[in-house]
Chains A and B, each alone.
Chain A
Amino acid sequence: MKKQENNDSQLVNDYKNGNEKAFEELVNRYKNKIFTTILLIVKDHYLAEDILQDTFIKAIHTIKAGKYNEQGKFLPWLGRIAHNLAIDHFRREKRHPISELEENENWLDNLNYTEHSAEALHIRKETHNQLRMLIQLLPEKQREVLIMRHYADMSFQEIAEATGVSVNTALGRMRYALINLRKQMTNNKFEYDPNTYPK
């Protein structure tokens, strides 16, 4: 089991007091979750890296200005920043994220596959590809809750507050997201068709 040497609050506090190593620990601890949160929204590797930088820069400004006050909830806080910046990007561009899906089909190609068997590797890759496409095909509100809960590590209460719905609604959306993914994953006839993307 991974040992958490310092909790997030302690690291944030240390960083606020000038300890850059504490910030490095926080970045390394959460860079993948935050990057994945952004990538699943924008579906473009380089754009996701730009937004990741903006996310951490916003965190740097807030913490160093002494304005961070979410003790013990660093990842959900960072996740909310990342989510908002990713969504803001599309509001500015006035286009829907799905428009970039086809031109960036290879955004998931660089996964680190550890299986030695070629067959296991192939199955794993197929599962990833299918799951990635199915996440994009989820209705927007279900996809939003799934990304916020699973990758940004926001609680259902926090998601409810961030999206302006009740906790039960957030839970219901998550449940339908999982049911829809499970249903499609077991459907052997599944084929990706961008025209079926739900509005």
Chain B
Amino acid sequence: MTPTLTQNDLLEYLYTEQSHEEKKRLDDYLAQDSSLSEEYHDFLSLKDDLGTLERSPDKAVIDNILNYSQNFVQA
């Protein structure tokens, strides 16, 4: 019997946390279920949007961190 797909499975699939076998099972489900596929692609699009929010710190801050590391002496 094929195990039932849960919404949590879809989340793990979205964030690629599944085993190869589980991924294959989800691939098959998505190919057969248009509503599930739609939900997955909605989540995927949102995930991409979240990725665009990434920000960079000021270069001086990074320089401070690197300088600290170079001058750090273990007690």
Residues of chain A touching chain B, judged by Cβ–Cβ distance below 8 Å, are 20, 23-24, 27-28, 31-33, 35-36, 39-40, 48-49, 52-53, 56-57, 60-61, 64-65, 108, 110-112, 124, 127-128, 131-132, 146, 149-151, 155-156, 168, 171-172, 174-175, 178, 181-182, 185
Contact = CB atoms under 8 A, between A and B. Distances in A.
A64 B55 contact: no
Contact of A35 (B8, B57, B72): B57
A109 B65 CA distance: 24
A52 B61 contact: yes
Contacts of A40: 53
A2 B54 CA distance: 17
- Majority secondary structure, A binding face: helix
Interface string B1-36: 000000110111001010000000000000000000
A41 B47 CA distance: 18
B69 A23 contact: yes
Contacts of B65: 27, 52-53, 56-57, 60
A57 B17 CA distance: 30
B38 to A, nearest CB: 11
A20 B49 contact: no
Given A52-B61, A64-B72, A31 B56 contact: yes
Could you say which of A33, A111, A175 has the most chain B C-beta atoms within 10 Å of its C-beta? A175
Contact of B55 (A20, A36, A61): A36
Interface of B: 7-8, 10-12, 15, 17, 42-43, 46-47, 49-58, 61-62, 64-66, 68-70, 72, 74
Contacts of B74: 64-65
A27 B62 contact: yes
8 contacts: A20-B66, A24-B66, A31-B57, A36-B55, A128-B53, A131-B49, A175-B11, A185-B46
